Amino acid sequence: MDVTVTPLPGLGTRQDFTTRSGHRIGVITYRDGRFELIVSDHEDPDKVAASVDLTSTETSALANLLGAPQLVAKLTEQQREVTGVTTWQLPVAPGSPYDGRTLGDTEMRTRTSASIVAVVRDGTVHPSPRPDFTFAGGDLVVVVGTSKGLRAASEILEKG
């Protein structure tokens, strides 16, 4: 998929792409840190048909909604052939025992035989995080393992 990046002198940049149905969807990133989600008019791609102003927090939430399920779907598809292995998305809630602590502190693999394969934070996927990766409240942790191991992993992230 081709993403077009257009400088907007004095404002910021516009990044957009054309959907299969012919609509252009994009994001304007303003110099002051604001974001605007836009949908161009079907007949005139230079005319904005709809727009929504987003804060950086809202932009991150939208990116997580769009990015995390795709990552998990790909992992699930790749693991489909391996009987007994499942992929779950587990949140690190603000105030969780691991909010501000490292992956190594969880001893996840040793305690559960489940593996943390990625962390999604603010719309950015951090694949194969190292033991020194520090969790933050709001992270979405992608864990692979058996059903029993995943239940234990969830319990660890929630209660310590």
**Collapsing DSSP states into helix, strand and coil, what is residue 106?**
helix
Mean pLDDT of the chain: 83
* Mean pLDDT of all residues in 133-152: 90
Nearest-angstrom CA–CA distance, 44 and 6: 16
pLDDT of residue 135: 96
Q: Which one has a higher pLDDT value, 30 or 103?
A: 103
- Highest mean pLDDT of the ranges 103-112, 121-130, 147-156: 103-112
**Collapsing DSSP states into helix, strand and coil, what is residue 114?**
coil
pLDDT of residue 110: 94
